Amino acid sequence: MSEKSLGVGKPDTQILGVLGGMGPLASAQFMLRLTLLTDAARDQDHIPAVLWSDPRVPDRTAARMASGEDPLPALLRGISGLEAAGAGAIAIPCNTAHGWFEGMQSATALPILHIVDAAEAELLRLGVTPGPIGLMGTAGTLAMRLYQERLEPRGWTCLVPTEEEMQRLVSPGIERVKANDVAAAYAPLAEAARALAARGARAVVLGCTEIPLGIAAGPALPFPVCDTIDGLARAAISWAKR
Amino acid sequence: MSEKSLGVGKPDTQILGVLGGMGPLASAQFMLRLTLLTDAARDQDHIPAVLWSDPRVPDRTAARMASGEDPLPALLRGISGLEAAGAGAIAIPCNTAHGWFEGMQSATALPILHIVDAAEAELLRLGVTPGPIGLMGTAGTLAMRLYQERLEPRGWTCLVPTEEEMQRLVSPGIERVKANDVAAAYAPLAEAARALAARGARAVVLGCTEIPLGIAAGPALPFPVCDTIDGLARAAISWAKR
C-alpha cells in the first residue's frame, strides 16, 4: 500500500475499488445507490471508495461480436490503478465486462465481486426462487452466456429476447442510455421486459447496467425486475460491513 | 505519469480528478451530472475521471467552528492519489473544503477548479447579473466568508441566513442529506431559501453540495437557484473540452 493510497495509515478500513465508466452514467448511478443503500448518519459512516471511470475502454460487445479491440488491457490498467489506490475489493458495474472476469481475477489478488452472483442474491432478496427468469443484456452478454453458465447449475433457467427484439428494442435502448437519453430508452426496454414476462419469466434481470436507468424513466413494471446496479451495490456494502 | 495511471499511453487525453466523499451523495451526484451534462453519443465520448471518495475526511465545519481535526492532511492525501492516477485537473464537490483551497493548490501543480468561480459562472448562465444574491452554506463556509471574499470585489453582495435560520433550517437540512434522508431535507432548506428571496436576493446560491439534493426533493422554488454541483460539473466539462 503506497503513501498515496486511500487506505494509508488505516489498514483496517476497507476501501472499495469501482472499475467504472462502462458506461459512465451506470457507474455514477452505482456510486449513488452504494451511498443511499448504506446505513449512515453522517459522512464518516459511508464506505470509502475509488471510482476509476474510464469510458475509453474498448466496446465490450463489439469485441465479442465483431472484430473490436480487446478491452482486457484497459480493464487491467484500471485494476492496477485501483490496487495502487489501496482498494480491498473490486466491483465492476458493467455486466458485459464480466466476460473477461477470469482474465481480470487471475491478474489481481483482490476479490472481484461477480455481478451475476450479486444479481442472484438480489433475485432471492426480491422473493424470486430458482426457476424461469427473463434476462435482458447486451448482445455480448447473451452470446457469452454469462448468466446461463453461472446460474443454470443453480436451478435457474434464462429466457432471452429474440434476435428481432434485441435489434429493435434492447440494443437501441442501451444505446439511448449511453447517449444520456434515458427518457427515450424506457419504451423499447419496457416492451422487451414485458415480452419476457409474457413468455413465462417470473422476474426479469436487467443484466446490463444501462437498462435499470432506462426502466426507471417510466412507470414501474407489473412484475419483479432485478436491478444489477442495486444488486452489486448491496454486494459491495455486505463486503465492506462484513 | 505512472504505468498505473488512467492516462497511460494517451498523454493527450485529459483525465478529471474528483476529490469527493464530502459528502458521498454529493460526489456521486456530481459524477451523474458530469455525465448527463456532457454532449456524448456513446461511452467513448465521455470524460475519463477518477473519483476519490473519502468520507473519512475530518468534518470541515467542525474544524473551522470548533476544535475539530484539521482536514488538510486527508485532502492532500486525496490529491496525491489523484495525481498518481494521472489527473490533469481537480474538482472538489464540497464548498466548505475550499476553505483549504490555498493549502491544497500550493501542494499540487494541477489546477484546482474553484467552486465559487463555478458558481459565479452558473449565476451568469442563469441570467443573474452582479448584485444582491442569497447564499446558503455550512456554518463553516459562511464563517470563512468563502463566497463574500471572492465575489464581492466582482460586484456581488451576499445575503446570508440568520443565526437562528442556520441552526433551525440550514444545518439540520444539510445533516439530513448526509444521512441519506433527502425527503426530510426539503422543507427546512426551501424555507431558508425563501427567506433570503423575501429579503431581496434575486437568486439563491446553494453553496453546499448537499443542499441541491435536498432542494431537488420537492417542488421547484419560484426564483433562480444556483446549483453548485451543476456549476462545478459545467466548469469541469469546459476544462475537459477546452
Partners of A210 in beta bridges: none
Give the lowest-confidence range in A101-115, B63-77, B214-228.
B63-77
Q: Is residue A61 helix, strand or coil?
A: helix
Which domain does B235 fall in, by range?
Answer: 16-114+231-241
Mutate to test the interface with B, among A1, A29, A50, A52 (most CBs of B within 10 A): A50
CB B30 within 8 A of CB B232: yes
Non-local CB neighbours of B241 within 8 Å, separated by 6+ positions: none
| pLDDT score of B46 more than 60 | yes
Percentage above 90 pLDDT, chain B: 88
Do B200 and B158 lie in one domain? The reply is: yes
Do A148 and A80 lie in one domain? The reply is: no
**Smallest Cα–Cα separation from B185: which of B25, B59, B22, B63?**
B25
Q: What is the mean pLDDT of residues A13-29?
A: 93
On whether residue A1 sits in a domain, the answer given is no
Cβ separation A13–B56 shorter than 8 A: yes
Cβ separation A24–B2 shorter than 8 A: no
| pLDDT score of A5 more than 70 | no
Do A108 and A141 lie in one domain? The reply is: no
On whether residue B4 sits in a domain, the answer given is no
Non-local CB neighbours of B76 within 8 Å, separated by 6+ positions: B103, B104, B107
**For strand B157-159 and strand B132-136, is the pairing parallel, antiparallel, or unpaired?**
parallel
**Smallest Cα–Cα separation from A59: which of B43, B68, B198?**
B43
Is there a cis peptide before residue A81, judged by omega within 30 degrees of 0? no
Tell me the nearest-neighbour CA distance from B82 into chain A, angstroms. Answer: 9
Predicted local confidence at residue B5, as pLDDT: 57
Please classify residue B76 by burial: count the beta carbons closer than 10 Å to its beta carbon, then call 0-12 exposed, 13-18 middle and 19+ buried.
middle
On whether residue B5 sits in a domain, the answer given is no
Do B140 and B109 lie in one domain? The reply is: no
The C-alpha atoms of residue A4 and residue A88 are separated, in whole angstroms, by: 15
Q: How many A/B residue pairs have CB atoms within 8 Å?
A: 163
- Look at B61 and A4; give whichever has higher pLDDT: B61
Do A168 and A224 lie in one domain? The reply is: yes
Q: Which residue has the cell 459522512?
A: A43
On whether residue A9 sits in a domain, the answer given is no
**CATH code: domain of residue B43:** 3.40.50.1860
On whether residue A5 sits in a domain, the answer given is no
Instruction: State pLDDT tens for residues B75-117.
Output: 999 999 999 999 999 999 999 999 999 999 999 999 999 999 9
Predicted local confidence at residue A1, as pLDDT: 35
Cβ separation A4–B84 shorter than 8 A: yes
| pLDDT score of B11 more than 50 | no
Predicted local confidence at residue A9, as pLDDT: 42
Do B189 and B200 lie in one domain? The reply is: yes
Do A162 and A98 lie in one domain? The reply is: no
Cβ separation A179–B10 shorter than 8 A: no
Per-residue b/e over A48-64, b at no fewer than 16 CB within 10 Å? bbbbbbbbbbbbbbebb
Do B203 and B217 lie in one domain? The reply is: yes
On whether residue B131 sits in a domain, the answer given is yes
| pLDDT score of A3 more than 50 | no
Give the lowest-confidence range in A35-44, A151-160, A200-209, B112-121.
A35-44
Domain count for chain B = 2
On whether residue B90 sits in a domain, the answer given is yes
**Smallest Cα–Cα separation from B147: which of B173, B170, B117?**
B117
